[in-house]
Amino acid sequence: MSASEMSLSPILKGLNPAQNEAVTAENAAILVLAGAGSGKTRVLVHRIAWLITNQNLSPYAILAVTFTNKAAKEMRSRVETVLGRSASGMWIGTFHGLAHRMLRAHARDAELPDTFQILDSDDQLRVIKRVMKDLNIEESQWPARQAQWFINQQKDDGKRAVDIPQNGELFTVIHGKIYTQYERACKIGGLVDFAELLLRSFELLRDNQHLREHYQERFKHLLVDEFQDTNGIQYAWLRLISDRQHCGVTIVGDDDQSIYGWRGAKIENIQRFDQEFNDVKTIRLEQNYRSTGAILKAANAVIANNSERMGKNLWTDDNDGDAISIYAAFNEQEEARFIASRISEWFKEGNPYQDCAILYRSNAQSRVLEEFLIQRQIPYRIYGGLKFFDRAEVKDTLAYLRLMYNKQDDAAFERVVNTPTRGLGPKSVDLIRQKARQNDMTLWQAAQAIILEKQLTPKACQSLTGFLGLIENGYEQLHELALSQQIQLTIEIADLMTMYEKEKGEKALARKENLAELASAAREFDVDDYPELLPMTAFLAHASLEAGDNQAENYEDCVQLMTLHSAKGLEFPLVFMSGMEEKLFPHVMSMDDPDKLEEERRLAYVGITRAMKKLYLLYAEKRRLWGKDTYPSVSRFIREIPAQVKEEVRLNSQINQPVFSSPVSTSAESDTREYALGQTVEHPKFGMGVILNFEGEGDKTVVHVNFESGESKRLMLAYARLTAC
Ligand code: ATP
Ligand code: MG
Domains, the chain: 3-105+199-287 (3.40.50.300), 117-189 (1.10.10.160), 324-385+558-656 (3.40.50.300), 390-544 (1.10.486.10), 662-724 (2.40.10)
For atom 4 of ligand 1, which residue has the closest CA? 569
188: pLDDT strictly greater than 70: yes
Cα–Cα nearest to 74, from 496, 656, 554? 554
Check residue 696 and give its pLDDT: 66
656: pLDDT strictly greater than 60: no
- Judge contact between 88 and 529, C-beta under 8 A: yes
Note if the bond before 594 is cis, omega within 30 degrees: no
User: b vs e for 314-340, b when ≥16 Cβ sit within 10 Å of the residue's Cβ?
Assistant: bebebeebebbbbbbbbbbbbbbbbbb
- Judge contact between 33 and 254, C-beta under 8 A: yes
Q: How confident is the model at residue 697 (pLDDT cuts 50, 70, 90)?
A: low
Cα–Cα nearest to 722, from 708, 709, 703? 703
- Judge contact between 101 and 243, C-beta under 8 A: no
Which of 221-225, 408-412, 661-665 has maximum average pLDDT? 221-225
Counting atoms of ligand 1 from 1, which one is nearest the CA of 285? 6
Average pLDDT over residues 696-711: 72
Q: Is the CB of 290 under 6 A from ligand 1?
A: yes
Average pLDDT over residues 112-139: 87
Check residue 552 and give its pLDDT: 39
Q: Is the CB of 39 under 6 A from ligand 1?
A: yes
Burial class of residue 493 (count of CB atoms within 10 Å of its CB; 0-12, 13-18, 19+):
middle
Residues 6 or more apart whose CB falls under 8 angstroms from that of 139 comprise: 129, 132
Q: Is the CB of 37 under 6 A from ligand 1?
A: yes
- Judge contact between 397 and 408, C-beta under 8 A: no
Q: Is the CB of 289 under 6 A from ligand 1?
A: yes
How does the average pLDDT of the chain come out, rounded?
86
Report which DSSP code applies to 116: -
490: pLDDT strictly greater than 90: yes
Check residue 715 and give its pLDDT: 78
Counting atoms of ligand 1 from 1, which one is nearest the CA of 16? 27
Average pLDDT over residues 552-562: 73
Q: Is the CB of 42 under 6 A from ligand 1?
A: yes
637: pLDDT strictly greater than 80: yes
* Type of residue found at 16: N
Q: Measure CA of the first residue to CA of the last residue in the chain; give whole Å.
A: 78
For atom 30 of ligand 1, which residue has the closest CA? 289
Distance CA 257, CA 569 (A): 10
Average pLDDT over residues 565-587: 94
Q: How confident is the model at residue 698 (pLDDT cuts 50, 70, 90)?
A: low
User: b vs e for 160-170, b when ≥16 Cβ sit within 10 Å of the residue's Cβ?
Assistant: ebeebeeeeee
- Judge contact between 262 and 361, C-beta under 8 A: no
Distance CA 432, CA 44 (A): 52
Report which DSSP code applies to 92: E
Cα–Cα nearest to 110, from 202, 243, 217, 188? 202
Counting atoms of ligand 1 from 1, which one is nearest the CA of 257? 2
- Judge contact between 554 and 127, C-beta under 8 A: no
Distance CA 29, CA 246 (A): 9
- The Å distance, Cα 320 to ligand 1 centre, comes to 18
For atom 16 of ligand 1, which residue has the closest CA? 289
For atom 2 of ligand 1, which residue has the closest CA? 36
Q: Is 111 left (phi over 0), alpha (psi -120 to 50) or beta?
A: left
- The predicted-structure confidence for 443-489, as pLDDT tens digits, reads as follows 999 999 999 998 889 999 999 999 999 999 999 999 889 988 999 99
Average pLDDT over residues 401-419: 92
Check residue 283 and give its pLDDT: 95
Residues 6 or more apart whose CB falls under 8 angstroms from that of 454 comprise: 461
CB count within 10 Å of CB 707 equals 17
- The predicted-structure confidence for 69-107, as pLDDT tens digits, reads as follows 778 887 888 888 877 877 777 899 999 999 999 999 999
Check residue 509 and give its pLDDT: 66
Element (H, E) at 186: helix 170-189
Average pLDDT over residues 272-299: 94
Check residue 177 and give its pLDDT: 96
Q: Is the CB of 316 under 6 A from ligand 1?
A: no
Burial class of residue 367 (count of CB atoms within 10 Å of its CB; 0-12, 13-18, 19+):
exposed
- The Å distance, Cα 291 to ligand 1 centre, comes to 10
Counting atoms of ligand 1 from 1, which one is nearest the CA of 45? 11
Cα–Cα nearest to 447, from 477, 413, 416, 493? 413
Check residue 355 and give its pLDDT: 95
Counting atoms of ligand 1 from 1, which one is nearest the CA of 36? 2
Higher pLDDT, 184 or 386: 184
Burial class of residue 282 (count of CB atoms within 10 Å of its CB; 0-12, 13-18, 19+):
middle
Distance CA 642, CA 323 (A): 11
Check residue 505 and give its pLDDT: 56
Q: Is the CB of 41 under 6 A from ligand 1?
A: yes
Average pLDDT over residues 176-194: 93
Cα–Cα nearest to 249, from 62, 104, 428, 526? 62
Percent of the chain with pLDDT over 70: 89
Report which DSSP code applies to 566: G
For atom 21 of ligand 1, which residue has the closest CA? 289
Q: How far is CA 541 from CA 407, 545, 661, in A?
A: 16, 6, 58
Check residue 253 and give its pLDDT: 95
Check residue 699 and give its pLDDT: 63
Counting atoms of ligand 1 from 1, which one is nearest the CA of 609? 3
- The Å distance, Cα 569 to ligand 2 centre, comes to 4
Percent of the chain with pLDDT over 90: 55
Tell me which long-range contacts 481-486 makes (C-beta under 8 A, separation of at least 24): 482/523, 483/522, 483/523, 483/525, 483/527, 483/535, 483/536, 483/539, 484/519, 484/520, 484/522, 484/523, 486/401, 486/522, 486/536
> Given ligand 1 and candidates 223, 287, 290, which is best to mutate, with the most ligand atoms within 8 Å of its CB?
290
Check residue 661 and give its pLDDT: 31
- Judge contact between 486 and 536, C-beta under 8 A: yes
Check residue 589 and give its pLDDT: 83
Check residue 370 and give its pLDDT: 80
Cα–Cα nearest to 586, from 569, 575, 599? 599
403: pLDDT strictly greater than 70: yes
294: pLDDT strictly greater than 80: yes
For atom 23 of ligand 1, which residue has the closest CA? 39
Average pLDDT over residues 10-35: 92
- Judge contact between 186 and 196, C-beta under 8 A: yes
- The Å distance, Cα 353 to ligand 2 centre, comes to 22
- Judge contact between 717 and 698, C-beta under 8 A: no
Average pLDDT over residues 199-207: 97
Q: Is the CB of 38 under 6 A from ligand 1?
A: yes
Q: How confident is the model at residue 626 (pLDDT cuts 50, 70, 90)?
A: low
Distance CA 674, CA 666 (A): 7
Ligand nearest to the CA of 573: 1
- The Å distance, Cα 77 to ligand 1 centre, comes to 16
- The residues that bridge with 29 in the sheet, in sequence order, are 249, 280
For atom 18 of ligand 1, which residue has the closest CA? 290
Average pLDDT over residues 290-308: 95
- The Å distance, Cα 185 to ligand 1 centre, comes to 46
- Judge contact between 194 and 121, C-beta under 8 A: yes
Question: Looking at the annotation, which residues are catalytic?
Answer: 40-41, 225-226, 257, 610
Residues 6 or more apart whose CB falls under 8 angstroms from that of 163 comprise: 154
> Given ligand 1 and candidates 31, 42, 359, which is best to mutate, with the most ligand atoms within 8 Å of its CB?
42
Report which DSSP code applies to 268: T
- The Å distance, Cα 260 to ligand 1 centre, comes to 22
Higher pLDDT, 612 or 714: 612
Radius of gyration of the chain (CA): 29
Check residue 241 and give its pLDDT: 95
- The Å distance, Cα 289 to ligand 1 centre, comes to 6
Distance CA 587, CA 201 (A): 35
For atom 28 of ligand 1, which residue has the closest CA? 14
> Given ligand 1 and candidates 15, 38, 68, which is best to mutate, with the most ligand atoms within 8 Å of its CB?
38
Ligand nearest to the CA of 287: 1
Q: Is the dihedral of CA 469, 471, 477, 480 positive or negative?
A: negative
1: pLDDT strictly greater than 60: no
CB count within 10 Å of CB 644 equals 12
Q: Is the CB of 475 under 6 A from ligand 1?
A: no
- The predicted-structure confidence for 38-50, as pLDDT tens digits, reads as follows 999 999 999 999 9
- The Å distance, Cα 404 to ligand 2 centre, comes to 41
Which pTM does this prediction carry? 0.74
Q: What are phi and psi of 32, to 5 degrees?
A: -100, 110
Q: How confident is the model at residue 550 (pLDDT cuts 50, 70, 90)?
A: very low
Cα–Cα nearest to 642, from 330, 293, 374? 293
- The residues that bridge with 563 in the sheet, in sequence order, are 360
> Given ligand 1 and candidates 20, 41, 43, 252, which is best to mutate, with the most ligand atoms within 8 Å of its CB?
41
Helices and strands (H, E) in the chain, number of each type: 28, 23
Counting atoms of ligand 1 from 1, which one is nearest the CA of 35? 2
Higher pLDDT, 333 or 85: 333
- Judge contact between 69 and 551, C-beta under 8 A: yes
- Judge contact between 91 and 64, C-beta under 8 A: yes
* Type of residue found at 504: K
Higher pLDDT, 175 or 517: 175
* Type of residue found at 407: K
Distance CA 686, CA 141 (A): 42
Q: How confident is the model at residue 670 (pLDDT cuts 50, 70, 90)?
A: very low
Distance CA 624, CA 584 (A): 11
Mind giving me the DSSP string for 611-670? EEEEEEEEEEEEEEETTEEE---B-HHHHTS-GGGEEEPPHHHHSS-HHHHS-EE-TTSS
65: pLDDT strictly greater than 90: yes
- The Å distance, Cα 253 to ligand 1 centre, comes to 13
